[in-house]
Amino acid sequence: MVATTEASREMSGLDQALQALRQDMNNARRQSKFYDLFINTTFCVPTLDQKELDEESAVGEGQVLPLIIESEGNDYLMIFDSEERLKAWAAEDVKWVGVPGYVLASTTMPPLHLAMNVGTEYSKQFLPDEIAWLREVVERCNEAVTAQEEPNP
């Protein structure tokens, strides 16, 4: 039996795009490719176990609370591009939901940060300004799609 490890896992397109972006952070083509892949990737977002919540924090049926980690005075929403990476980081089974990157960009509000693939060489922190920019990109794309779908008079 061969165990799958981070080293043996094939690089995803997102990993490759991040690696290319890191080689030249000012390259517009590399930025575009990475962010396009980000908003079109479905991420595993760890959630809190409702059984462990106190009554004040309880959520309604069908709702989930994402796991937020505080580090150095900042709050981070943890996101992983695979269940394998999530489980390696958590070191145990953890409940999670799949959330598309465009939804993360649209719903993550300051001062929340995103922490992608923590514990791997492909980890990345998204700062509030970067997330706000992504939210604007998603909104412009949604507006363009809506405009195309509206019938001409």
Instruction: List pLDDT tens digits, range 104-115.
Output: 999 999 999 999
- Domain 42-149 sits in CATH 3.40.1350: yes
Over residues 91-102, mean pLDDT: 94
pTM here is: 0.83
Peptide bond into 111 cis (omega under 30): yes
Bridge partner residues of 125 (DSSP): 115
Looking at residue 149, its pLDDT comes to 80
User: Of the candidates 150, 130, 131, which has an alpha carbon nearest to the alpha carbon of residue 142?
Assistant: 150
Domain ranges in the chain?
42-149
What is d(CA 96, CA 140) in angstroms, rounded to the nearest whole number?
29
Contacts of 112 (CB under 8 A, 6+ apart): 68, 75, 76, 77, 128, 131
Q: DSSP letters along 66-111, please?
A: B-EEEETTEEEEEEBSSHHHHHHHHTS---EEEEEHHHHHHH--TT
Q: What is the pLDDT of residues 13-46, one digit of tens each?
A: 999 999 999 999 999 999 999 999 999 999 999 9
Q: What is the pLDDT of residues 39-89, one digit of tens each?
A: 999 999 999 876 665 555 555 666 789 999 999 999 999 999 999 999 999
Bridge partner residues of 114 (DSSP): 77, 126
* Span between the terminal Cα atoms of the chain, in Å: 64
Looking at residue 4, its pLDDT comes to 43
Looking at residue 150, its pLDDT comes to 73
Looking at residue 1, its pLDDT comes to 37
Contact 104, 132 (CB under 8 A): no
Looking at residue 142, its pLDDT comes to 84
Q: What is the pLDDT of residues 130-152, one digit of tens each?
A: 999 999 999 998 888 888 887 66
Looking at residue 53, its pLDDT comes to 57
Looking at residue 3, its pLDDT comes to 40
